[in-house]
Amino acid sequence: MEDELTREHLAAEQRMVHRIQRIMMECHREKIAAVEKARAEERQKTREAVQDQRRKTVEELVNTGVTALNDQSKNMSYLIREKEHELNVYCSMAQRQKQEEVQEVLQEAEKIHQASLGTVMDKLVNTQGELLSIAKQLGIMTNWKDFLEEELQETRVAFQKYINYTFPKLSPGQADFILPERKKTPSNLIAPADKATLD
């Protein structure tokens, strides 16, 4: 009886040991599975974190690149505006300088023109004075010519009367040696208008 109880007790202990071992093995398997699951979850979280960080980094790089491009575009626009301003200033200065040069040339030409005009006016005044003097002399000479012509004509008329009175019986032409006909005016003393009139 006692042996049977001992065997049952040993069998119960063995069953208990097997059960404990089985429970321990199940716990170990569950522990390993939990560890693997935790590791898998950790790896997944790590991958997700890495991907998220990579995405953020890419976004930051893209944003930085876009910002840099925008800044570069702004800088280029600023440089273009600066160059346009410099070109406008240069063109304005060049145009003003050209206008000043043209103005100087015009002023110099005006001075030369005024000087030439003054010289011409002086010559005209002198020439006018000379012409007035010559005209005055010609007037005097013309008056003398007219006076002498009239006196000569009167003398010829008086002399012709004297011949007619002194020699009443002379035929026409017989007294020509005493009072010859007047000579024709030489051609070199006839003005073109007068010559045309005489012709």
What pLDDT, in 10s, does the model give residues 82-107? 888 888 887 888 888 888 888 888 78
Q: Report the pLDDT value the prediction gives residue 140, as an integer from 0 to 100.
A: 92
| Separation CA 186–CA 181 (nearest Å) | 15
Q: Report the pLDDT value the prediction gives residue 197, as an integer from 0 to 100.
A: 45
Low-confidence ranges of the chain (pLDDT < 50): 195-199
Q: Report the pLDDT value the prediction gives residue 196, as an integer from 0 to 100.
A: 44
Q: Report the pLDDT value the prediction gives residue 191, as an integer from 0 to 100.
A: 61
Q: Report the pLDDT value the prediction gives residue 58, as an integer from 0 to 100.
A: 81
Question: What one-character-per-residue DSSP string does 63-123 give?
Answer: HHHHHHHHHHHHHHHHHHHHHHHHHHHHHHHHHHHHHHHHHHHHHHHHHHHHHHHHHHHHH
